[in-house]
Amino acid sequence: MQQIINFIIRNKIFLLFLLLFSVSILFTVQSHSYHKSKFINSANFLTGGVYNSVNNITEYFALKSQNEILAKENNRLKSILYNSQAKQDSSFVDSLLFGSPYKFTTAQVIKNSYNTLDNILLINKGTKNNIQQDFGVITDKGILGIVDQTSGGFATVLSILNSNSKISAQLKKTNHFGSLVWDGKSPNITQLVDVQKIAPVAVGDTIITSGRSSIFPKGILIGTINDFKLDQSENSYIIDIKLFTDMTNLEHVYVIENVNLPEIKSLLSNE
Amino acid sequence: MNNVLSVHTIRFITLVFLQVLIFNHINFMGHINPYPYILFIALFPIKNNRINIIVLSFFLGLSVDLFLDTGGMHAAASVFAAYIRPIFLKFSFGTIYEHQTIKFETVEFGSKLTYFSLLTLAHHLVLFLLELFNISKIILVFQKTLFSGIFTILMCILITIIFSRKNK
């Protein structure tokens, strides 16, 4: 017994090192798997508050470019609104969001990241604003990511520039679909994999979300095809997509809630 | 003693904030960032207990992790650097270290550079191994370690020169 205690006292530094090192490795392993980083994430009072107050200052520097982006979007939406009025179904002309399964919430990105292999963003809306895990996040130009962890006033977003992220996407002109992944090389280029060889792929074609995951509605823009090649098995394409969203300049984003998601999930789990 | 304590507390907080608010947004050539928060580990008093520095490094790394959403990578790398520090001290400063009389403001520039470089490379190697978490990307790990390491060493040397007290 005494020898054991002596051993512990003699090697206490090494044992302490081993303990703390393995705790950190445990956290790291958790952070590498989807939806597991419960303890160490930036959606908490301290880090969220710090990022929020810093963002209050830094957002002024990007004010001009962000205003231009919002004005362009307003312009686009107005043109859609006035052009479509004539064709609308007369029974529900102004019933706000009647029967629409998607609810939108605006939010601001207060921490952006695009330089590591697993990028996670922080937005300034949380459970108080009814934002929960697995809600989709988009910008005015296209897709951004999926909500991961939430706290009262903040939420982390698993960016599409993350090796754990896998979002269903398809070609705009046909319904051939694949999964959107990222190889970690450039923040403007992501990859669409598992697209069948039979699909008519051409450089410049548009890629949209497929709506299969029921997180995003069908038809949200992602990007255009930059380059494509067959994978090793020669059965499916690996397509390089140039994103519409500038991932390095983000401020105003929209969080999408699919109201029907619980119903869809319970239906699928019954099978 | 009280003075030493407050100096290190302020240094801890300042370095964490500088790291997460400024140095992590440099993104030189797309993805190269310096990590000068390890100055806290490098400049920790040598006479002090080794247990203190290991525990403090863990919390230093963990606070950086909290801000950057990186799980425990920085904590692991910092603990590793703190544990292995005496070996680098002995290698870079030789006999002065044996007598435990080093003052980081007075040592030669060459040995200080060696010491910072060794510590930085050890820290960054563990950090990027855990970040990429894939043994088949080992070349990318070395590449990132080298580029970020050079940047970090440069920043560390600059910061120590700027904030060195003139001892007359």
> Nearest CA to CA, how far is B106 from chain A (Å)?
29
Please give the average pLDDT of every successive group of 10 residues along chain A, which has 271 residues: 85 89 88 70 79 85 84 80 58 52 85 85 90 88 89 90 87 89 86 88 89 83 89 86 88 86 84 67
Q: Which residues pair with A162 in a beta bridge?
A: A118
In a domain, B69, yes or no: yes
Q: Supply the range of the domain harboring residue A75.
A: 45-82+98-163+250-260
Asked if B128 has any chain A CB less than 8 Å from its own CB, the reply is no
- Kindly state whether residue A189 falls inside one of the protein's structural domains: yes
Mean predicted confidence (pLDDT) in B113-126: 92
Task: Tell whether A29 is covered by a domain.
Answer: no
Query: Which residues of chain B neighbour A32 with C-beta distances below 8 Å?
Result: 71, 133
Q: Mean of the pLDDT values across residues B122-128?
A: 92
Determine the pLDDT at residue B97: 67
My answer on whether A171 and A159 are in the same domain is no
Query: Are both A55 and A113 inside the same structural domain?
Result: yes
Report CA-CA distances (Å) from A29 to A124, A151, A234, B64, B103: 27, 22, 33, 17, 39
Q: Residues A72, A153: one domain?
A: yes
In a domain, A19, yes or no: no
Question: Which residue segment(s) compose the domain that B13 sits in?
Answer: 2-162
Residue A10 domain-assigned (yes or no): no
- Strand A155-162 to A118-123 pairing: antiparallel
ipTM of the complex: 0.85
Residues B68-76, mean pLDDT to the nearest whole number: 88
Asked if the Cβ–Cβ distance from A31 to B70 is below 8 Å, we say yes
B168 lies in some domain: no
For residue A219, the distance in angstroms to the closest alpha carbon of chain B comes to 30
Number of residue pairs across A and B with CB atoms under 8 Å?
100
Work out the minimum CA distance from A46 to partner chain B, whole angstroms: 9
Same domain, yes or no, for A111 and A68?
A: yes
Confirm whether A236 is domain-assigned. yes
Determine what percent of chain B is predicted with pLDDT higher than 90: 31
Same-domain pairing of A122 and A178: no
Distance linking the first and last C-alpha atoms of chain B = 22
Of residues B136 and B64, more confidence is placed in: B64
Residues of chain A positioned with their CB less than 8 A from the CB of B35? none
With beta carbons under 8 A apart, name residues in chain B contacting A12: 51
Alpha-carbon torsion angle B20, B76, A44, A155, nearest 10: 80
Q: How many CB atoms lie within 10 A of CB A90?
A: 5
- Token representation of residue B147: 């580029």
For residues B113, B117, B119, B125, the Cα torsion angle rounded to the nearest 10 degrees is 180
Chain-chain contact of A42 with B72 (C-beta, under 8 angstroms): no
Q: Identify the closest residue of chain B to A33 by CA–CA distance.
A: B71
> Is B26 part of a structural domain of the chain?
yes
pLDDT of residue B164: 76
Name the band, by pLDDT with cuts 50, 70 and 90, for residue B153.
very high
pLDDT of residue B168: 42
A48 touches chain B (CB under 8 A): no
Number of domain units in chain B: 1
Residue B125 pLDDT exceeds 90:
yes
**What CATH number should be reported for the domain holding residue A62?**
2.40.10.340
Q: Which of B69, B79, B83, B139 to mutate to test the interface with A (most CBs of A within 10 A)?
A: B69
- Give the CATH number, domain containing residue A209: 2.40.10.350
| 8 Å CB contact between B53 and B45 | no
Same domain? For A61 and A105 the reply is yes
* Contact criterion met (CB below 8 Å) for A147 and A155: yes
In angstroms and rounded to an integer, the radius of gyration of the C-alpha atoms of chain A is: 22
Residues A107 and A173 in one domain: no
Distance in angstroms (rounded) separating the CA atoms of residues B24 and B20: 6
Kindly state whether residues A173 and A201 are assigned to the same domain. Answer: yes
- Co-location of A143 and A222 in the same domain: no
A55 with A117, same domain?
yes
- Is A62 an 8 Å CB contact of chain B? no
Same domain, A111 and A216: no
Model-level pTM?
Answer: 0.78
Within a domain: residue A16?
A: no
Residue range B89-94: mean pLDDT, rounded: 84
Any domain includes A131: yes
Total number of domains in chain A: 2
| CB proximity A50 to B under 8 Å | yes
Q: Is residue A92 part of a domain?
A: no
A48: closest chain B residue by CA = B67
Whether B167 maps to a domain, the answer reads: no
Q: Are residues A102 and A231 in the same domain?
A: no
